[in-house]
Amino acid sequence: MDSSTRARRGSSCRLLRAMLLLVAVVALLLAGNRLAHEPVPSDVPVTVAAPQTSPPVPLDPATLEATLIPSIVTLTASAGPLTTAGTGIVLSADGLVLTNHHVIDGATDVDAVTLATGADYDTEVLGYDRFRDVAVLRLIGADSLPVAPLGRSADLALRDPVTAIGNADGRGVAVSARGVVTALNESVVARNSSDGSRNRLTGMIEVDADIRPGDSGGPLVNAYGLVVGVSTAGNTGMRPDPSEQAAGEPVPIESYAVPIDDAVAIADQIRGGRGSETVHIGPTPLLGVAVTDLGQDQAGARVVAVGAGSPAEQAGVVHGDVIVSWNDTPIRSQSDLTVEMARRQPGDRVEIGWIDAAGTRRTASLVLATGTP
């Protein structure tokens, strides 16, 4: 066979292969078009592949602390010669901070130090909810602060590992306490050490982390370094004497945190300037009394202290009197009076009614002064 014949046969073979490939491609395209337009029978299961995502990786303690500590502040609240230590969680780069109300309750001055740089800030109280023990502060002049990474408390489950980070014992440095979630949706009665008043907190996260004085207002974080709660109350002052404890017996620890979902909802309400029965916005009005409940089946708020020069003192209210009305609203308990005060601003005029030691019903119109948070 000469070379020209072999060339012609090779060319024919290549042409045949190309034509067969073209036919195959056309058949495949037609089949794909037919499948795209033909309905899938209802009795044939259709499986949609889930996107491939890697599960979050728990952080080791050192990384978790390095992530969270720059986004918290230590707080020192002053009321005359008395000071209270606490912790705050940075919500925004320009200095919005979430903390507990009881940290700033009664304070005339609140000082904040960011653990990111050690910078010291004066603060302004934007609002608070006494009943949920939540407050929002603004650090005056703050800028470019690290913001805490927030998670969802709704995702928590029993035995989930958690870490509380805060200004434990007021030492001005971040201290971590590790534990697990031991209960959800718990109730606890917190006592105000300044006036003896009690506040029932509901919907709380219970943990066995050793939350201490000064940790209040600080972050409770999950294993991935996300804030899931605001540390609020612990029982460190109620633990048994180690000398009286049996060898090897575990020390019971029960501490509590406000769920971050609840705390952020209140913070958003405060930032939006939307007051309510429990959320107070702006400067605090002052009546000038500390009150407590009378007891079971007794209506009214018993006065246990009256501030010198306060509107209440000027109106004639004294220790032992029982406040029973506010304008036209009956006052049945300490909480009723707190709700009425939350709705007011300094300068508002109100009429209060009370029963004195002789059992005489008295009333007075007064103007609320400016008080502390």
Residues tagged active-site: 102, 133, 216
- Angular region, 357: left φ>0, alpha ψ -120 to 50, beta rest: alpha
Token reading at 81:
């010669």
Token reading at 274:
């939307």
If you write DSSP's letter for every residue of 172-186 in order, what string do you get? SS-EEEEEEEEEEEE
299 close to 332: Cβ distance less than 8 angstroms:
yes
| Token pair 């390095």 in the structure block, residue | 66
Per the document, the length of the chain is 373
**Which residue from 260, 290, 26, 294 is spatially nearest to 151, judged by alpha carbons?**
260
257 close to 204: Cβ distance less than 8 angstroms:
yes
Burial class of residue 362 (count of CB atoms within 10 Å of its CB; 0-12, 13-18, 19+)? middle
